[in-house]
Chains A and B, each alone.
Chain A
Amino acid sequence: GENVEQHPSTLSVQEGDSAVIKCTYSDSASNYFPWYKQELGKRPQLIIDIRSNVGEKKDQRIAVTLNKTAKHFSLHITETQPEDSAVYFCAASMYSGGGADGLTFGKGTHLIIQP
């Protein structure tokens, strides 16, 4: 089955700087890669996703890049703000047209924004 590795486990950056979180996946059949943000005591919230027919996607301060050949994808957050502090999870799944598979998650990155 799919295996998703995520690094780093903890990332501390100064407010206003950029943060990058990286994930690799093992199953070349995976074609859907979402990122979730989870604040303490809350549910995971989808912040951005990318499909395998696209190499990059951007939404305001957040961007995701995908390298299918190398089987890795990354989350980039620019101009970080205190409210970006949370645990971020990458995930992978395969959509086959008949319905999505469940998600395989990375272990998470605790992002700390230092004021």
Chain B
Amino acid sequence: SAVISQKPSRDICQRGTSLTIQCQVDSQVTMMFWYRQQPGQSLTLIATANQGSEATYESGFVIDKFPISRPNLTFSTLTVSNMSPEDSSIYLCSVGRDGASTDTQYFGPGTRLTVL
């Protein structure tokens, strides 16, 4: 499976500010996804980020709040804008494999965000 890294691993931010989370993969992948995991909860898909096209957002998530970039096949960023304490979560990127079994997804280590 691909090696996936995220930066930062954790951060504590003040409300009203923004944080950009980076996701780096050691190989080229077509499909990248961003998820949120609120404390003690399951994972919820925020958006799908494919290189060369606009990100596709799930119901309840909007581009103004969670802008996403996907400049190449190994990198993506998610920005959490105008943060409030409700945004405190773990944010995870995942990648789908290219070639066979493209439906399989592997997760990055996550970014633990606390908003005060």
CB within 8 Å of B: which residues of A?
1, 32, 34, 36, 42-46, 49, 51, 89, 93, 95, 99-108
Contact = CB atoms under 8 A, between A and B. Distances in A.
State the majority secondary structure of interface residues on B: strand
A32 B103 contact: yes
B42 A105 contact: yes
B42 A43 contact: no
Given A43-B110, A89-B42, A102 B48 contact: yes
A49 B106 CA distance: 12
Ranked 8 nearest A-B pairs via Cβ: A102-B45, A95-B103, A100-B103, A32-B103, A43-B107, A105-B42, A105-B43, A102-B33
Contacts, number: 59
Contacts of B104: 34, 46, 49, 100
A99 B103 CA distance: 7
B40 to A, nearest CB: 9
